[in-house]
Structure 1
Amino acid sequence: MHDGENTKQRGIFMDNGSGGFLSSLKFYGGDCGAFLGNQQFTTLNLEFYNCKTAIYMNWDWVWLLKSIKIHDCGIGIDISNGGPDDIHTGSVLLLDSYIENTEIAIKTFRTKESKPPAAGTLVIQNLIISGVKTTVSGLNEEEIFGGNDKGRNTTIPFWGHGKGYSDHLPHGDDINVVADETVDAIPAALKDTAGKILERPRPLYRHITPNRFVSVRAAGAVGDGVTDDTAAIQEIISANGNTPTGRKKKIIFFDYGVYRVTQTIYVPPNTYIVGEMWSVIMSSGSFFNDAKNPKPLFLVGKSGEEGIVEISDMLFQTQGPAAGAILMEWNIRSPQGQNVSGMWDVHFRVGGSEGTNLQSPKCIKKPDDQVDPKIDDDCVSAFMLLHIGKTASLMMENMWIWTSDHDLDAPKHEQITIYTGRGLLCEAELGPVWMYGHAVEHNVLYNYQLANTKNIFMGVIQTETPYYQSNPRARQPFPPVAEYFDPDFEAACGAAEVPQDKISMCEKSWGLRILNSTDVFAFGAGLYSFFENYSTDCIAKRECQQTMVSIDRDRKSDIVSSRSNIWLMGLVTIGTQNMASWTRDSEEGEQIALAALDGNGAGFTDNVGLILL
């Protein structure tokens, strides 16, 4: 772009939407490198050179900027839009980044008196500056955080501008008071050799010769959505996966199509799969319809197996009814010192599309039905979407794990009511697990659940509570199963401390539930409850849901022995009375509830910079 004094050019103009993920771009010159606005978003590896303003944040709810490099710009990141009386930015999280030879690294108008009170929240983790006059500049060019000299690198380990909470400060305080320990809390298991949170871009296979790609269609699979492709797919994966040491790997290529599967497909270690514009694997038949005996559609490794598995550009779905379907169970653990296994641009989409049998008019929404109506078994869509097993490690990038709320293929895209029991359950006992640009939506019991796990990175994650709840409530149609650590809503919400008129608010899907886990780092979480039985009237008063995040802790971290080492940064909720709750003292059982309207309002959303437990 032109970099003269009068330039008005912009590299990217993005304003609106519910994103999203963007990575690996370079910007040269111009008035503004990237003009950004979105609800929740993850950006990785953006580089800016000689821009007047590198990044202008027009508005957001929560935004993760990771591995950003800014060189020779006037302003690095401008989050001041709207002025001090109407700040348009909710949260910005800047992680593992570098800014040099720039007048102002970050411009903000947030003050103790600015409005809304929680807007303009900023969290910085591992920022290196060099030749930056002012790191954080405020209203009237106030120097909130100073800079350094040209040619000298200064690392800012952690700094925040906003409100935080902890066991010791349950009513909230300045983020920097909450995070007063200087210890490096992020475990080595989550980092690369340079000390940054590990990233692994999606594999492109550009140097793989054509004879090492295996077309599943050419090898016998059909992919027409009707033919049973189970045997063909399993034979292809067994023959071309599980690459022995020293042998060149083959890439299993799923030509575009819908591949109907009636039994579990096993994916062994050292298997590489890529689709074509989201090739579809669809479960079908009675094998996947027994909720008392759930079965995975894709079984990626068996418990304890090690190796590399790469999956990209694929889509998984069910053909209903499928009360016992687990779309994927991931058990593979990556060997130490090798590239991590993972999924890139892989999506789970349940219902709402042609051929799934989970569409209108059969599963059309019925908000006028009696409270707790009889469930239509034909509209039960899955048992669970993704199960990460005890021995697993996994990198995920740009994944949408979705139970449909509307019919994508119907002319009017009518809203539908279908029932998936659980979203993502992570039981990885050692991890590590990374989730970049990740969303799980519209599941009955919970969207994200971490149970007995450690070494988890999430940024940004996003959820929505099912639109139909609380009609029926979250206790239907999936009773709690102890083996999967399910919440027991009937017991918890029927307790004496829950008022009778609030039970329906209580019995709603958890956005994020953390059980007996340590070393969890969420860099941005947008967790939303927009509806009460398809009505949005509940949003303004925060009466769509009682609580969005639940944290139960029974153990301390090996990294920081005084706590569980759970960091929730940039937590944004909508429509919920309490943003999060946790037990302050496991012996006495004292419950802390973080109220959304207790100084945490950020306009339409509610916003907390840090919860540290």
Structure 2
Amino acid sequence: MQLHSFLLAIVSLAVTVQSFWLADIPHQGLAPYAGPNSPVFRNVKDYGAKGDGVTDDTAAINNAITTPGNRCGRGCASTTMTPVVLYFPAGTYLISSSIIPYYFTQMYGDASSPPTLKATANFQGFGLIDGNPYWSENPNWVTTNVFYRQVRNFVLDTTAIAPGTAATGMHWPTSQATSLQNIVFNMPKGNGVVHVGLFIESGSGGFMSDLTFNGGATGASMGNQQYTMRNLVFNDCGTAIIQLWDWGWTYINLSINNCGKGIDVSANSDGKQQVGSMTVIDSTIVNTPVGIVTAWSPNSQPATAGTVVLENVVLQNVPVAVAGPSGTVLSGSSASTTITAWSQGHRYTPDGPTNQIGAIAPNNRPSALLDGSKYYTRSKPQYESLPASSFVSVRGAGAKGDAAADDTAAIQSAIDSATSAGKVVFIDYGLYRLTSPITIPPGAKIVGEGYPVLMAAGGYWSNMNNPQPVIKIGATSGQAGVVELSDFVVGTQGSQPGAILFEYNLASTGTPSGMWDVHTRIGGFAGSQLQVAQCLKNPGSSAVVQQCVAAYMSMHATKQSSGLYMENTWQWVADHDIDDNANTQITIYAGRGLYIESAEGRFWLLGTAVEHHVLYNYQFSNTKNIFASELQTETPYFQPTPNAMVPFSVNTSLRDPDFDSSCAGVGGNCAASWGLRLLLDHVLDHRGGENCQSRIVSIEGASRNINIYNLNTIGSLSMLDRDGRSIAKWQDNVNVYPANIAVYRSG
């Protein structure tokens, strides 16, 4: 008996599996404006889903999303007031029609054992997950207004649907602050298959990473304004990627294997190309007859449409690297070859344009930015190996998150105690008022639940002439250490003209610190006190409503800081009220966007966007070692009335632009926010961007080794200025909607 009991104990120990911490922690998230009976965290099994691979779980899953009836579904424009984090334990969930995540819904599977959503043979719907359903002739939500949503840790399986029946794994026309991560698309393989893994027809993205597509006619068929996509794997697809249309797109670390075609960017309509530009770097294509299909030629219409830039693309048994309308443009090899650097489109090296196709000199990649021979990247940590006891809740530490209480002390206490104990801070959903700065010490790990908001509130940040940080990452500039931050938002409540939302001080000299899905949102949401009632747009008026001067700067990386990896971060000054069902435009003033003046650099910006700041969106000063992929910016919608000279005065210590002097003799709407301003003596490596104004990108000073691939600008007379002189005009570089420069080299 004793031996028998001992053996049973061993067997029991061997089969014990630790569940994902997110399922086990106490769930105390509070949505202050959602009303009663609207929990933030929801486990689909609590709503009747079985996950047994036999029961049809469609109704139970959709009920978990839609309950109660005040959530933002059919006919609702947008809202932040009814958030839901929908959790799926491991299992197979049989579904017969689409799962529809309402606005502000996050869908998370068990990261340690991703669940499967498996379509029945008679499945009906446009995607196992339909992120924006056609309940009328148009998608339910305006695709450029679908923000703050995530889907991660799933297997989407359409193999039970007949191969010749149209089927789509996911329909996902969305925009900023959205992400897909760690998803596998399983489809039938072979001739006659018409399944598509991922379909996107419009929007203004965005970021995706760690997706795998197996089988299907097309792995991903996509059209959107811009995207950064990283770590996408395509196996045995008819065509890995069909690019339906875009303004600019960057692929990093693609792996295309055993497909009929790799990437098809040849889309045409009425004789005009639909794809603006594409950049592919650090990628591989294997056992695929044609790597890239393009419609570009020296006589393309529009002039720069179909621009392609390739860098460090490895081919193995790819006979045709690039095929054009008349046949092979770039030969591949039946063995192994590497495209070091190659482009088709307009080049400025440093002057132009020259319309060229062929090899280009590869970038001089700074070793500080590399992991081996590739640019450093890192996926968002999910801490799947940690137990629930390794997490410290801010509400458990006494924070309220009700948009009314002062939560400063409780949140600082939770951060300090968790970090000293080697634990992870969990910010339960809520709106947390801060009345003095929060300091995040070295070693901190912080993760939010469904985009909680930390808001500067009270009088501490009221003085524009004495700006102060809201969140300090590191106590002082140059403090050594590393942090990991993910899934939360920092904003302001009311007028905070002296608020710098993030101040990054850490010197992360080895492994860089990381920010994943961490955003700033200034105004335009319930609880911000910067909505339609306070800040309604008054077109043509130069009057500044002081109550709507909301922040000084979104983020400042100080001189002695270094080593920060930023992925899918959106620093947004709201142009409209998300919680007004008409999406009414508002006017909010925030002075500066992302300012990096790190002497050492080592910054990676993947899929970032900075929008609607008065003076500039991105500014890099006397720094080096920066890699940026698909920067996306917009000028404030109210400019030029008033223009960028109000309400913020020039701060010379921060090297603010002085429009008084720089606009002399320029003419037009000169005093408008810069999209990207480089004040450099060192190194920058940049990919992409979209902007709106008369001057948009400025390079100033004795800069060197500045490499820009696929610069896209919209509505700007000058695309690129060097030391006050325009060197590229929009009319010389017309694209599908923006103007495009394939390659710029500083010379």
So what's the TM-score if we normalise by structure 1? 0.89
User: Compared with structure 1, are the counterparts of its residues 84 and 102 closer, same or farther at alpha carbon in structure 2 (3 Å cutoff)?
Assistant: farther
Residue 550 of structure 1 and its aligned partner are, at CA, apart by 0.4
Map 1:189-588; keep pairs closer than 5 Å: 189-193=368-372, 195-241=373-419, 243=420, 249-301=422-474, 302-336=476-510, 339-369=511-541, 373-392=542-561, 393-493=563-663, 495=664, 497-499=665-667, 502=668, 505-525=669-689, 527-529=690-692, 545-555=693-703, 564-583=704-723
Match of 1:15 among 198, 201, 208: 201
Q: Confirm or deny that 1:100 pairs with 2:269.
A: no
Conserved? CA contact 2:453–2:491, under 8 Å: yes
Query: What amino acid is the match of 1:597?
Result: Q
The residue aligned with 1:164 is 347
Q: Confirm or deny that 1:185 pairs with 2:364.
A: yes
The residue aligned with 2:737 is 604
Q: Where does the alignment leave 5 or more consecutive residues of structure 1 unmatched?
A: 530-544, 556-563, 584-588
Cα distance between partner residues in 2 of 1:144 and 1:391: 47
Conserved? CA contact 1:175–1:609, under 8 Å: no
Q: 4+ residue stretches of structure 1 with deviation over 6 A?
A: none
Asked which structure has the greater CA Rg, the reply is 2
The residue aligned with 1:559 is none
The residue aligned with 2:42 is none
Residue 491 of structure 1 and its aligned partner are, at CA, apart by 1.7
Secondary structure class of the residue paired with 1:347? strand
Cα distance between partner residues in 2 of 1:84 and 1:368: 38
Query: What amino acid is the match of 1:298?
Result: I
The residue aligned with 1:541 is none
Conserved? CA contact 2:196–2:218, under 8 Å: yes
Conserved? CA contact 2:540–2:641, under 8 Å: no
Query: What amino acid is the match of 2:687?
Result: F
The residue aligned with 1:586 is none
Residue 413 of structure 1 and its aligned partner are, at CA, apart by 1.9
Q: Confirm or deny that 1:594 pairs with 2:709.
A: no
Cα distance between partner residues in 2 of 1:414 and 1:510: 25
Cα distance between partner residues in 2 of 1:105 and 1:274: 39
Residue 267 of structure 1 and its aligned partner are, at CA, apart by 1.0
Deviation track 1:52-88 (CA, whole Å, cap 9, x = no partner) reads 1100000010000110001111110000010693111
User: Compared with structure 1, are the counterparts of its residues 84 and 521 closer, same or farther at alpha carbon in structure 2 (3 Å cutoff)?
Assistant: farther
Conserved? CA contact 1:269–1:307, under 8 Å: yes
Residue 520 of structure 1 and its aligned partner are, at CA, apart by 1.2
Range moving further from structure 2, 78-87 or 422-431? 78-87
The residue aligned with 2:158 is none
Conserved? CA contact 1:186–1:519, under 8 Å: no
Map 1:45-124; keep pairs closer than 5 Å: 45-82=231-268, 85-124=271-310
Cα distance between partner residues in 1 of 2:370 and 2:434: 38
Residue 288 of structure 1 and its aligned partner are, at CA, apart by 0.8
Deviation track 1:125-169 (CA, whole Å, cap 9, x = no partner) reads 1000010010000113x21100111xx3211111001111023x3
Conserved? CA contact 1:165–1:173, under 8 Å: no
Cα distance between partner residues in 2 of 1:498 and 1:411: 41
Conserved? CA contact 1:84–1:110, under 8 Å: no
Q: Confirm or deny that 1:36 pairs with 2:222.
A: yes
Residue 593 of structure 1 and its aligned partner are, at CA, apart by 2.6
Residue 176 of structure 1 and its aligned partner are, at CA, apart by 5.0
Cα distance between partner residues in 2 of 1:83 and 1:521: 34
Cα distance between partner residues in 1 of 2:483 and 2:634: 29
User: Compared with structure 1, are the counterparts of its residues 517 and 361 closer, same or farther at alpha carbon in structure 2 (3 Å cutoff)?
Assistant: farther
Conserved? CA contact 2:298–2:356, under 8 Å: no
Query: What amino acid is the match of 1:212?
Result: S
Q: Where does the alignment leave 5 or more consecutive residues of structure 2 unmatched?
A: 1-186
Cα distance between partner residues in 1 of 2:540 and 2:249: 37
Cα distance between partner residues in 2 of 1:553 and 1:592: 15
Cα distance between partner residues in 2 of 1:119 and 1:462: 19
Cα distance between partner residues in 2 of 1:103 and 1:133: 6
User: Compared with structure 1, are the counterparts of its residues 221 and 175 closer, same or farther at alpha carbon in structure 2 (3 Å cutoff)?
Assistant: farther
Conserved? CA contact 1:164–1:175, under 8 Å: no
Deviation track 1:539-580 (CA, whole Å, cap 9, x = no partner) reads xxxxxx32110001224xxxxxxxx01111111111111111
Residue 175 of structure 1 and its aligned partner are, at CA, apart by 6.4
Conserved? CA contact 2:298–2:355, under 8 Å: no
Query: What amino acid is the match of 1:354?
Result: A
Cα distance between partner residues in 2 of 1:171 and 1:214: 56
Residue 173 of structure 1 and its aligned partner are, at CA, apart by 4.6
Range moving further from structure 2, 387-396 or 97-106? 387-396
Query: What amino acid is the match of 1:382?
Result: A
Cα distance between partner residues in 2 of 1:190 and 1:143: 34
Q: CA RMSD in A?
A: 1.5
Identity fraction in percent: 42
User: Compared with structure 1, are the counterparts of its residues 520 and 359 closer, same or farther at alpha carbon in structure 2 (3 Å cutoff)?
Assistant: same
Deviation track 1:239-258 (CA, whole Å, cap 9, x = no partner) reads 222x4xxxx72001111111
User: Compared with structure 1, are the counterparts of its residues 409 and 517 closer, same or farther at alpha carbon in structure 2 (3 Å cutoff)?
Assistant: farther
Cα distance between partner residues in 1 of 2:304 and 2:418: 53
Query: What amino acid is the match of 1:204?
Result: Q
Cα distance between partner residues in 1 of 2:355 and 2:272: 22
Q: Confirm or deny that 1:144 pairs with 2:329.
A: yes
Q: How many residues are aligned here?
A: 558
Residue 306 of structure 1 and its aligned partner are, at CA, apart by 1.3
